[in-house]
């Protein structure tokens, strides 16, 4: 919402406050606005934890509120949690909204009504913020929870094998402790919005009577906040309403003999009110490959001009397939629906064999599934088999303090040969092969409070970002330079070859020369007989790494979740053991403490 | 004389400051600099600051693939830094086991995969990445090769006529080339320390080269007339062998040749060497040492474009220079003994030496030994090295001699050579008498194409010769990418010197023996201008020449260009 559109009636501010704010904002340039926005958000965040939540509990001391716990990686679960809170409060219910990372497990004993919103990432792992609680619930210290009512909503991506695993774990663990499931768990896919809303209504319907009864009995007051959780980027442009931004630069930044094709992308945010902070992500919508779409229409003998409906929208089949539906990232749901819609027995059999289905979609894009299974199917039926095309999220590789109204990304082109054809990733293929400089792409910024530079400029930071994991650290370095931050910066980077794959080499050299980067350690895995990775470099420098942690350094990891982040984690454990004189459990505790202090943060995918 | 006493001579501008190269040499701790630190710097594939220059004294040039430089700038990658290594191979002799070692290294550890034979009678590796440099030196060391002082302000690889026929004379001349090379080497142990993990030793004094080394590069040859393949007039110091009944008795000493110049600077010019006189063999090392020491002390350290021996002679006078050498070496030059140069080309095919051994000279276009699609030259050389019992000789014309083959082994070696395109009767005389420097994409000084352009240019010149019905004849043709002299265009009958992409200065009037400097005929022109001009000149030459008159002599006689007699006054006139 734009400030000029605000009026006192629609905001929590008095008329006078609002005038002051409008006056101030009128004087600020977009960069200053972004800063103020971030500043206020940070202040409000800490207030929310210490003050607002405290108020809620204080007001409902004897009677338990509706406790909403969220564990979020990219912000989706947090968004859903905010929605739950808003809906509950609209019903006059007292709520307590807490990030799992900030939740004291000892409080579990006092809970009566628990709603969990949690995502899953990687190989069925909990988001970082949820790790501690996830583990605690399975442990010996977990209290009995008889009489507690629980409702769990999971967020995930069905193209991953362990879809919504963390939500399943939470529900099962709470149930094992005696909590009663009052509404069936929702396992929501990437296009979760509509289903989330329906589930929330259902869950609150189930919880409301008991909550109300208890609150009336306890005489608790309903505390209704006018706002949901504070938002940093109060942009009018969102996932649902993205901004059509101009693509200004698409530049390959790996050498001509590289096995990888990595693009540096610059997008102009001019004309939008989108702001972001280092650590945030950018959601990017893309168009499917028109040639692949034509091939699908052709193989199914459909008419591309045939109109179809997607929700409220009526468009041609071709438009639907290019602009609105997911056709690259495959997931079990598609195969299941397509098997039924086409009466394909082979596919139906496959859909019933989880492992086989997983293997099948692993090596196929949705394009492939359709092309390899031609059938008589109506255009609308095909559309109904598909889920909505989801924006891809990329860690932002720039700081607005440096690039102002631009946003930069570091995008690895996903490409592979299979079934005799070249295949490309949906969004990376679009950006690298089809979008041209000047093309408008629909984008929105996605806040990630779990990946933030230390507020204190004097705090040293260690950044581990091999491959495209370098992206947010480029943003961090730009930001630290703009802030004149005196804290030391240490970067670990790796990729296959020095000559071909040293992303942003010239910039990194410049930062070393200027002194911004105190150390850089590089691991080029294929430049020698034995492979060397960032975790090996970390171990080599273990003593200094531990010394940095001891003096308060923040430790960041960005990049591959399935292997690198785990290997780096293990390297950290080893370093803490070796140089801190600790055993395994103490080392884990050490890292947990770092995490609780927001000093060990990951942005992995 | 120690370093601190070296002052700009009174004949030079005493108030002027020494060039920055003098600072870096003096601060280098005898060529060590901080090269070892750079080797551990993971951030760049290049060498920083002074080390960029200092590695030259260790036989390496930092280069990059210039073809892809703009592309890499956009990719936010630094230029594709690598080094070129030039080995020290006095007289160009390399043994089969050494060949096998460099063959393997070139294949496995260089970007281009080739062995390059150069006009300095040695081989070069092109495209060695920093992590492979130390291993390269250690490998070379293990087979008895180094690259000490093959570049930089020192006496570089000593050339020697390859003449395989007069085998005894060649053997003696070669031994002197090796001795001179050793005698004039830097004494610093920096090379062993840095590259071979040698023991750290105290700073060594440099009694001959001086602690700040020479003012500029210095080139030496040992030459056996009548073949002038080494091009004495391209070199600072030449020992021209004088034999008596097939036995070496001494040398005529020629000083002050050099071909480098700078476009647009008339104070720079190619210049022939002056004959100081004859010396018996026992004075050889002393004269070598003191020609170097006089140049060390009298050479210009302020202006590097005026620093080579040729300018020192023109500044002080040849007689004064000669007297100082006599004074320091404690000897007198005798009157020159008669000798004659008649040609410079290599004698391709088999020849038999007076010792009864056989020698096969093979033509290597541009000196580039690589497996080409239909010509696996590199494999051919390797297969020969696997069975060869003699040695190889790299010629100053970038060709290769398989030398010292016993009569019974001839057939087998010839068969391998034929099977791998090393013997190719298709090459015209024109092609065999054409030469180019390396130039683009690796040489940082290049302004225009040379090596990559030569094959195509030769084809066009062949067509002109055929058009005028002299297809069997040839004109000594040389193309260089810049005016620094590597391809010796300034001793060609027709020399092209690069000025910009596709543009060359065209010089005419050198002779077959390499004893005349050519003169500018067309400036900054492309093929569209110089090919029609050459067409017309060849036509005139064919119809108007005297018997056996070569093209270079013809253009001088007809005054198409004026003869350059004294470079300082005539070259730019």
Q: What is the pLDDT of residues B359-395, one digit of tens each?
A: 999 999 999 999 999 999 999 999 999 999 999 999 9
Output the CA torsion sign for B429, B431, B432, B437.
positive
What are the catalytic residues of B? Answer: 86, 156, 217, 219, 437, 443, 482, 486
In this predicted model, what pLDDT tens digit does every residue of A203-256 receive, in sequence order? Answer: 999 898 888 887 776 544 443 333 333 344 468 899 989 999 999 999 999 999
Tell me, what's the pLDDT at A16?
64
Residue A537 shares a structural domain with residue A593:
yes
Residue A363 shares a structural domain with residue A398:
no
Tell me the CATH number at A279.
Answer: 2.40.30.10
Q: Give the model's confidence band at A138: pLDDT under 50 very low, under 70 low, under 90 confident, else very high.
A: confident
Residue of A470, A505, A528, A541 for testing the chain B interface, max B β-carbons within 10 Å: A505
In this complex, the residue of A264, A499, A520 whose CB is nearest that of residue B76 is: A264
Residue A231 within any structural domain of the chain? no
For range A254-267, the mean pLDDT: 97
Angle between helical axes of B284-298 and B167-183 (0-180°, round to 10): 40
Distance (Å, whole) CA A156 – CA A187: 7
In this complex, the residue of B77, B129, B131 whose CB is nearest that of residue A502 is: B77
A219: left (phi over 0), alpha (psi -120 to 50) or beta: left
Please calculate the CA angle A589-A593-A596 and round it to the nearest 5 degrees.
Answer: 135
Q: Give the model's confidence band at A263: pLDDT under 50 very low, under 70 low, under 90 confident, else very high.
A: very high
Residue A358 shares a structural domain with residue A411:
no
CB A141 within 8 A of CB A99: no
CB B85 within 8 A of CB B60: yes
Give chain A positions within 8 Å (CB) of B112.
none
Computed on alpha carbons and rounded to an integer, the radius of gyration of chain B in Å comes to 23
Task: Reply yes or no on whether the pLDDT at A569 is more than 90.
Answer: yes
Residue A331 shares a structural domain with residue A354:
yes
In this complex, the residue of B44, B129, B131 whose CB is nearest that of residue A509 is: B44
For residue A576, give both structure tokens.
């803490």
Output the CA torsion sign for B383, B386, B389, B393.
positive
For residue B482, give both structure tokens.
């810049």
Tell me the CATH number at A322.
Answer: 1.20.990.10
Report which of B435, B439, B441, B453 is spatially closest to residue B489, judged by C-alpha positions: B435
Q: Do B77 and A256 touch (CB under 8 A)?
A: no
Residues 6 or more apart in contact with residue A483 via CB below 8 angstroms: A401, A457
Residue A127 shares a structural domain with residue A22:
no
Tell me, what's the pLDDT at A154?
94
Tell me, what's the pLDDT at B14?
56
3-state secondary structure of A532: coil
Residue A546 within any structural domain of the chain? yes
For range A146-155, the mean pLDDT: 92
Distance from CA of A438 to the nearest CA of B (A): 18
Q: Give the model's confidence band at A257: pLDDT under 50 very low, under 70 low, under 90 confident, else very high.
A: very high
Residue A534 within any structural domain of the chain? yes
Task: Reply yes or no on whether the pLDDT at A279 is more than 80.
Answer: yes
Q: Do A255 and B129 touch (CB under 8 A)?
A: no
Percentage of chain A exceeding pLDDT 90: 67
Report which of A511, A533, A552, A551 is spatially closest to residue A465, judged by C-alpha positions: A533
Distance (Å, whole) CA B180 – CA B221: 9
Q: Do B78 and A506 touch (CB under 8 A)?
A: yes
Distance (Å, whole) CA A398 – CA B25: 43
Residue A566 shares a structural domain with residue A420:
no
Residue A452 within any structural domain of the chain? no
Instruction: Please return the burial class of A221, using the count of CB atoms within 10 Å of its CB with bins 0-12, 13-18 and 19+.
Output: exposed
Alpha helices in A95-253 (DSSP H): 128-138, 165-176, 193-218
Q: Which residues of A touch B (CB under 8 A)?
A: 251-256, 264, 498-500, 502-509, 512, 520-522, 527-528
Distance from CA of A506 to the nearest CA of B (A): 5
Tell me, what's the pLDDT at A59?
39
**Picking from A26-30, A494-498, A600-604, which range would have the lowest pLDDT averaged per residue?**
A26-30
Tell me, what's the pLDDT at A33?
65
Give chain A positions within 8 Å (CB) of B64.
none
DSSP line for A66-77? EEEEEE-SSSHH
In this predicted model, what pLDDT tens digit does every residue of A515-543 receive, in sequence order? Answer: 999 999 999 999 999 999 999 999 999 99
Report which of A125, A129, A183 is spatially closest to residue A156, judged by C-alpha positions: A125
Q: Rounded to the nearest 10 degrees, how much is the dihedral formed by the CA atoms of B494, B499, B500, B503?
A: -30
In this complex, the residue of A499, A504, A508 whose CB is nearest that of residue B45 is: A499
Task: Reply yes or no on whether the pLDDT at A60 is more than 50.
Answer: no
Residue A266 shares a structural domain with residue A401:
yes
Residue A495 shares a structural domain with residue A590:
yes
Question: Pick from A340, A366, A385: which residue ends a domain?
Answer: A385
The DSSP bridge pattern shows strands A313-316 and A307-310 to be antiparallel
Mean pLDDT of chain B: 94
Task: Reply yes or no on whether the pLDDT at A61 is more than 70.
Answer: no
Q: Do A522 and B43 touch (CB under 8 A)?
A: yes
Instruction: Please return the burial class of A166, using the count of CB atoms within 10 Å of its CB with bins 0-12, 13-18 and 19+.
Output: buried
Tell me the CATH number at A132.
Answer: 3.40.50.360
| Phi (first) and psi of residue A14, to 5 degrees | -75, 165
A320: left (phi over 0), alpha (psi -120 to 50) or beta: alpha
Residue A455 within any structural domain of the chain? no
Residue A237 within any structural domain of the chain? no
For residue A433, give both structure tokens.
């092969």
Please calculate the CA angle B290-B295-B299 and round it to the nearest 5 degrees.
Answer: 160
In this predicted model, what pLDDT tens digit does every residue of B452-492 receive, in sequence order? Answer: 999 999 999 999 999 999 999 999 999 999 999 899 999 99
How far apart, in Å, are the Cα atoms of B456 and each of A135, A141, B436, B442? Answer: 74, 83, 12, 19
Q: Which domain holds residue A442?
A: 243-286+391-446
CB A160 within 8 A of CB A190: no
3-state secondary structure of B53: helix
Count of all residues that appear for chain A in the document: 605
First to last CA, chain B: 39
Q: Do A254 and B75 touch (CB under 8 A)?
A: yes
Distance (Å, whole) CA A89 – CA A582: 47
DSSP line for A82-103? HHHHHHHHHTT--EEEEEGGG-
Distance (Å, whole) CA B360 – CA B377: 15
Give the total number of structural domains in chain A.
5
In this predicted model, what pLDDT tens digit does every residue of B499-539 receive, in sequence order? Answer: 999 999 999 999 999 999 999 999 999 999 999 999 999 99
Tell me, what's the pLDDT at A23?
63
Residue A200 within any structural domain of the chain? yes
Distance (Å, whole) CA A465 – CA B412: 58
Residue ranges of E strands in A203-271: 243-252, 262-268
Task: Reply yes or no on whether the pLDDT at B2 is more than 50.
Answer: no
Residue ranges of E strands in B268-357: 274-280, 349-352
Residue ranges of E strands in B353-415: 358-362, 368-369, 371-372, 375-376, 391-394, 400-405
Residue A280 shares a structural domain with residue A410:
yes
Residue A238 within any structural domain of the chain? no
Tell me, what's the pLDDT at B163?
77
Tell me, what's the pLDDT at A131?
85
Cα diameter, chain A = 73
3-state secondary structure of A319: helix
Find tokens 């550890």 and name the residue: B109
Tell me, what's the pLDDT at A65?
86
Task: Reply yes or no on whether the pLDDT at A36 is more than 90.
Answer: no
In this predicted model, what pLDDT tens digit does every residue of B170-210 receive, in sequence order? Answer: 999 999 999 999 999 999 999 999 999 888 877 678 999 99
In this predicted model, what pLDDT tens digit does every residue of B133-157 receive, in sequence order? Answer: 999 999 999 999 999 999 999 999 9
Distance of CA B8 to the CA centre of its chain: 29
CB A560 within 8 A of CB A605: yes
Q: Do B75 and A499 touch (CB under 8 A)?
A: no
Residue of B43, B48, B79, B135 for testing the chain A interface, max A β-carbons within 10 Å: B43
CB B19 within 8 A of CB B12: no
Give chain B positions within 8 Å (CB) of A252.
75
Tell me, what's the pLDDT at A218?
57
Count of all residues that appear for chain B in the document: 573
3-state secondary structure of A422: strand
For residue A351, give both structure tokens.
């859909």
Distance (Å, whole) CA B115 – CA A566: 46
Q: Could you tell me which residue, A192 or A411, shows the higher pLDDT?
A: A411
Distance (Å, whole) CA B258 – CA B269: 8
In this predicted model, what pLDDT tens digit does every residue of B104-133 receive, in sequence order? Answer: 999 999 999 999 999 999 999 999 999 999
In this predicted model, what pLDDT tens digit does every residue of A370-389 receive, in sequence order? Answer: 999 999 999 999 999 999 99
Q: Rounded to the nearest 10 degrees, how much is the dihedral formed by the CA atoms of A165, A170, A173, A179?
A: -140
Complex-level ipTM: 0.87
CB B172 within 8 A of CB B246: no
Q: Do B76 and A527 touch (CB under 8 A)?
A: no
Output the CA torsion sign for B358, B362, B367, B372.
negative
CA atoms within 13 A on the CB side of A147: 10
Distance (Å, whole) CA A249 – CA A251: 6
In this predicted model, what pLDDT tens digit does every residue of A462-519 receive, in sequence order? Answer: 999 999 999 999 999 999 999 999 999 999 999 999 999 999 999 999 999 999 999 9
Tell me the CATH number at A548.
Answer: 3.40.50.80
Residue A212 shares a structural domain with residue A260:
no
Angle between helical axes of A128-138 and A584-596 (0-180°, round to 10): 130
Residue A259 shares a structural domain with residue A321:
no
In this predicted model, what pLDDT tens digit does every residue of B78-96 receive, in sequence order? Answer: 999 999 999 999 999 999 9
Distance of CA A27 to the CA centre of its chain: 33
Output the CA torsion sign for B19, B23, B26, B28.
negative
Question: Pick from A57, A74, A92: which residue ends a domain?
Answer: A57
Global confidence as pTM: 0.82
Residue A339 shares a structural domain with residue A325:
yes
Task: Reply yes or no on whether the pLDDT at B441 is more than 60.
Answer: yes
């Amino acid at each position: 919402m734009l400030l000029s559109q605000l009026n006192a009636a629609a905001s929590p501010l008095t008329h006078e406050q609002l005038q002051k704010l409008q006056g101030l904002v009128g004087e600020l340039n977009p960069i200053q606005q972004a800063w103020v926005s971030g500043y206020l958000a940070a202040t409000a965040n800490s207030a929310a934890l210490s003050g607002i939540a405290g108020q809620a509990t204080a007001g409902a001391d004897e009677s338990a509120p509706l406790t909403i716990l969220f564990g979020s990686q990219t912000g989706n679960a947090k968004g859903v949690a905010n929605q739950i809170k808003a809906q509950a409060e609209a019903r006059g219910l007292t709520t307590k909204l807490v990030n799992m990372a900030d939740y004291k497990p000892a409080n579990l004993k006092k809970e009566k009504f628990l709603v969990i919103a949690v995502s899953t990432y990687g190989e069925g792992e909990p988001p970082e913020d949820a790790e501690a609680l996830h583990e605690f619930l399975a442990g010996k210290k977990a209290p009995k929870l008889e009489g507690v009512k629980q409702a769990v909503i999971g967020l995930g991506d069905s193209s991953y094998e362990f879809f919504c695993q963390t939500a399943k774990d939470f529900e099962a663990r709470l149930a094992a402790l005696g909590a009663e499931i009052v509404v069936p768990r929702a396992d929501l896919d990437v296009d979760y919005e509509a289903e989330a809303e329906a589930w929330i209504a259902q869950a609150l319907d189930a919880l409301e009577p008991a909550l109300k009864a208890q609150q009336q009995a306890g005489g608790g007051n309903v505390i209704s906040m006018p706002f949901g959780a504070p938002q940093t980027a109060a942009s009018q442009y969102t996932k649902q309403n993205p901004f059509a931004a101009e693509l200004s630069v698409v530049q390959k930044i790996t050498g001509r003999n590289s096995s990888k094709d990595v693009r540096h992308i610059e997008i102009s945010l001019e004309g939008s009110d989108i702001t972001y902070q280092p650590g945030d992500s950018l959601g990017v919508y893309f168009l499917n490959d028109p040639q692949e779409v034509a091939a699908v229409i052709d193989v199914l003998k459909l008419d591309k001009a045939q109109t179809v409906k997607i929700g409220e929208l009526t468009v041609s089949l071709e438009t639907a397939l290019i602009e609105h539906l997911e056709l690259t990232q495959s997931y079990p749901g598609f195969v299941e629906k397509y098997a039924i819609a086409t009466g394909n027995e082979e596919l139906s059999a496959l859909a019933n064999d989880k492992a086989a289905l997983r293997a099948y979609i692993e090596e196929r894009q949705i394009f492939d599934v359709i092309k390899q299974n031609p059938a008589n199917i109506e255009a609308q039926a095909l559309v109904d088999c598909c889920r909505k095309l989801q924006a891809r999220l990329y860690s932002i590789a720039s700081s607005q303090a440096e690039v102002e109204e631009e946003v930069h990304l570091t995008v690895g082109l996903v490409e592979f040969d299979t079934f005799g054809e070249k295949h490309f990733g949906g969004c990376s293929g679009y950006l690298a092969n089809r979008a041209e400089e000047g093309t408008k792409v629909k984008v929105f910024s996605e806040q990630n409070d779990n990946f933030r530079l230390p507020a204190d400029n004097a705090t040293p930071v260690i950044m581990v970002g091999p491959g495209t994991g370098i992206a947010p650290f480029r943003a961090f370095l730009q930001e630290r330079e703009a802030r004149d931050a005196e804290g030391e910066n240490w970067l670990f980077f790796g990729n296959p070859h020095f000559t071909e794959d040293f992303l942003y080499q010239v910039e990194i050299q410049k930062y070393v020369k200027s002194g911004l980067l105190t150390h850089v350690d590089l691991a080029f895995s294929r430049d020698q007989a034995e492979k060397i990775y960032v975790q090996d470099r970390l171990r080599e420098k273990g003593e200094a790494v531990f010394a940095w942690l001891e003096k308060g350094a923040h430790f960041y990891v960005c990049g591959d979740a399935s292997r690198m982040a785990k290997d780096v984690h293990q390297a950290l454990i080893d370093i803490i053991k070796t140089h801190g004189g600790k055993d395994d459990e103490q080392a884990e505790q050490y890292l947990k403490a770092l995490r609780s202090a927001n000093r060990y943060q990951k942005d992995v995918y | 004389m120690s370093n601190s006493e070296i002052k700009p001579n009174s004949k030079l501008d005493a108030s002027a400051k020494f060039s920055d190269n003098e600072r870096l040499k003096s601060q280098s701790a005898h060529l060590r600099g901080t090269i070892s630190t750079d080797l551990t710097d993971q951030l760049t594939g290049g060498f920083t600051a002074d080390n960029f220059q200092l590695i030259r004294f260790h036989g390496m040039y930092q280069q990059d693939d210039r073809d892809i430089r703009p592309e890499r700038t956009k990719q936010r990658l630094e230029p594709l830094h690598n080094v070129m290594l030039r080995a020290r191979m006095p007289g160009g002799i390399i043994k089969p086991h050494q060949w096998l070692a460099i063959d393997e290294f070139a294949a496995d550890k260089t970007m281009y995969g080739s062995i390059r034979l150069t006009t300095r009678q040695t081989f070069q590796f092109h495209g060695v990445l920093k992590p492979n440099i130390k291993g390269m030196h250690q490998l070379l060391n293990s087979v008895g090769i180094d690259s000490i002082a093959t570049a930089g302000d020192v006496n570089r690889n000593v050339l020697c006529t390859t003449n395989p026929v007069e085998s005894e004379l060649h053997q003696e001349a070669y031994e002197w080339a090796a001795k001179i090379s050793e005698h004039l080497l830097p004494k610093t142990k920096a090379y062993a320390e840095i590259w071979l993990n040698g023991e750290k030793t105290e700073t060594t004094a440099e009694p001959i080269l001086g602690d700040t080394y020479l003012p500029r590069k210095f080139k030496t040859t040992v030459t056996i007339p009548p073949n002038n393949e080494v091009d004495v007039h391209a070199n600072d110091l030449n020992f021209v062998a004088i034999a008596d009944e097939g036995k070496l008795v001494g040398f005529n000493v020629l000083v002050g040749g050099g071909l480098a110049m700078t476009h647009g600077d008339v104070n720079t010019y190619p210049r022939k060497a002056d004959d100081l006189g004859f010396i018996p063999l026992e004075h050889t090392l002393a004269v070598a040492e003191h020609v170097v020491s006089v140049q060390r002390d009298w050479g210009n350290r302020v202006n590097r474009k005026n620093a080579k021996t040729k300018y020192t002679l023109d500044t002080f006078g040849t007689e004064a220079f000669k007297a100082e050498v006599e004074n320091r070496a404690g000897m007198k030059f005798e009157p020159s003994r008669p000798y004659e140069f008649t040609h410079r080309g290599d004698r391709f095919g088999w020849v038999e030496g007076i010792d009864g051994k056989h020698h096969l000279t093979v033509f290597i276009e541009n000196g580039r030994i690589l497996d080409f699609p239909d010509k696996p030259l590199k494999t051919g050389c390797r297969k020969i090295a696997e069975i060869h019992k003699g040695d190889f000789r790299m010629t100053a014309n970038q060709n290769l001699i398989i030398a010292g083959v016993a009569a019974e082994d001839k057939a087998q070696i010839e068969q391998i050579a034929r099977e791998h395109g090393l013997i190719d009767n298709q090459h015209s005389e024109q092609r065999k008498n054409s030469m180019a420097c390396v130039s683009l994409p690796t040489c940082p000084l290049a302004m225009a194409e040379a090596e990559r352009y030569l094959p195509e240019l030769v084809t066009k010149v062949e067509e002109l010769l055929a058009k005028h019905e002299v297809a069997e004849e040839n004109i000594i043709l040389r193309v260089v990418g810049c005016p620094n002299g590597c391809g010796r265009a300034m001793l060609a009958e027709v020399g092209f010197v690069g000025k910009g992409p596709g543009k060359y200065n065209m010089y005419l009037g050198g002779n077959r023996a390499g004893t005349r400097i050519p003169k500018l005929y067309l400036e900054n022109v492309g093929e569209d201008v110089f090919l029609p001009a050459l067409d017309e000149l060849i036509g005139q030459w064919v119809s108007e020449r005297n018997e056996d008159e070569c093209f270079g002599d013809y253009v001088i006689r007809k005054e198409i260009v004026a003869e350059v007699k004294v470079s300082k006054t005539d070259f730019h006139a």
